[in-house]
Amino acid sequence: MFKKLAAASIGIVLCFLSVNAFAQKKSDIKIGWGPFPDVPQISQAVDKNLWKEEGLNAQIVPFFSGRASFEALLGGQLDFAIIAEFPAVIGAMQKQEFGILARMSQYQASRIISKNNIGFNSVKDLAGRKIGTTVGTNVHFLLDVELQMAGVKAEVVSVAPPDLLPALVRGDVDAAVMFPSFYAGAKKALGDQYNEVRTPSYSTQFLLVGSGEIIDKYPDTVRGVLSTLLKGEKLIVDDPAESQQAVSRVIGKAIPLAGIVAGWSEHEYKMGLDNELLDLMLKEGQWIRETGKIKNIEPTRQLFRPYFRGEFLKSLAGARVNL
């Protein structure tokens, strides 16, 4: 009798372990990502179905802004999302449930755009001018940082993203700080009148974030996604030209291949998590508080650090995590 009970107990334990192990893997996942070339690791994973090697079935849900995909993730509609670092700062200050899994890339060619007839050659030339931007976003943060560094003041005009270029063309504003996805349209619309000044003080960081549920309940799935994207990144390093073609195949007509090629060198495509990102988020958090966008929350390293879930990437590529 004892042997039968023991055998039954072992069977129950094994069954529990089997179910528990199965629960650690979620094969069907949803990733929020827009039709942009900023994260070609995902394009390679989609183009060559690299997910399959990790037993994943990834559905890419299109969003035209990182903020919208982030809201969908917080609302439970997504497992993962690609966002810029600025929404993550706001999410952390609002104590939302998510985790930063990796910085996927950096955009290093932010700029201020104007017509060439206003004499705009440096940020100091913007003193007293009307500058259009989308208030409360990372491009507004960029503008404030640049004006402060130049020691000048300007009139900041709040304009919605799709209205910035028309406002600049009409002359309602003297210059505009817009999202990078609008740069090509600005250059085409302004033609010979196009003028820009690069702003190296700020680089947009594109992050892979995960929902609280996917991180807490399905760690193997998180590692599988990161492993897949690391493989996609290796393909980028090994053959950039083919990777540009892969991006073009995945995002379709949203951006012509020539545009993808032209902007390729303006990005750094390397996954990682480090103190540089943490420092930037802290600086943005302080700016958000100072401008009154979020009150009664003190942005500190201690506030943001728990959102950096570097243990998953570190288990796959330890040298990429420096926190």
Q: In three state form, how does the secondary structure of the chain look?
A: CHHHHHHHHHHHHHHHHHHHHHHCCCCEEEEEECCCCCCHHHHHHHHCCHHHHHCCEEEEEECCCHHHHHHHHHCCCCCEEEEEHHHHHHHHHCCCCEEEEEEEEEECCCEEEEECCCCCCCHHHHCCCEEEECCCCHHHHHHHHHHHHHCCCCEEEECCHHHHHHHHHHCCCCEEECCHHHHHHHHHHHHHHEEEEECCCCCEEEEEEEEHHHHHHCHHHHHHHHHHHHHHHHHHHHCHHHHHHHHHHHHHHHCCHHHHHHHHHHEECCCEEEHHHHHHHHHHHHHHHHCCCCCCCCCCHHHHHHHECCHHHHHHCHHHEEC
For residue range 203-225, list pLDDT tens digits in order: 999 999 999 999 999 999 999 99
CA distances from 77 to 68, 71, 81, 101, 240 (A): 11, 9, 10, 18, 33
Q: Which two tokens stand for residue 161?
A: 């993203």
Q: What is the pLDDT of residue 292?
A: 87
Are 129 and 147 contained in the same domain?
yes
pLDDT at 18: 41
DSSP lists the bridge partners of residue 177 as 133
Q: Are 161 and 213 members of one domain?
A: no
What mean pLDDT comes out for the span 150-163?
95
Tell me, yes or no, whether 73 and 46 share the same domain: yes
pLDDT value, residue 208: 98
Report the first-to-last Cα separation within the chain, whole angstroms: 56
Q: How many domains does the chain have?
A: 2
Q: What is the CA 249 to chain-centroid distance, rounded?
A: 21
pTM recorded for the entire structure: 0.89
The whole domain housing 131 covers 111-198
CATH code assigned at 190: 3.40.190.10
Whether residues 17 and 152 fall in one domain: no
Is the pLDDT reported for residue 17 higher than 70?
A: no
Note whether 218 and 70 are same-domain residues: yes
Does 153 lie in the same domain as 136?
yes
**What residues does 99 pair with on adjacent strands?**
210
Q: Check: CB of residue 88 under 8 Å from CB of residue 138.
A: no
Instruction: Tell me if 1 is assigned to some domain.
Output: no
Q: Do 119 and 192 fall into the same domain?
A: yes
Task: List, for residues 166-217, the tens digit of each pLDDT value.
Answer: 999 999 999 999 998 899 899 999 999 999 999 989 999 999 999 999 999 9
Mark whether 211 and 317 lie in a shared domain.
yes
Q: Are residues 284 and 309 in the same domain?
A: yes
Do 19 and 65 fall within a single domain?
yes
Among residues 172, 198, 224, the one where a domain terminates is 198
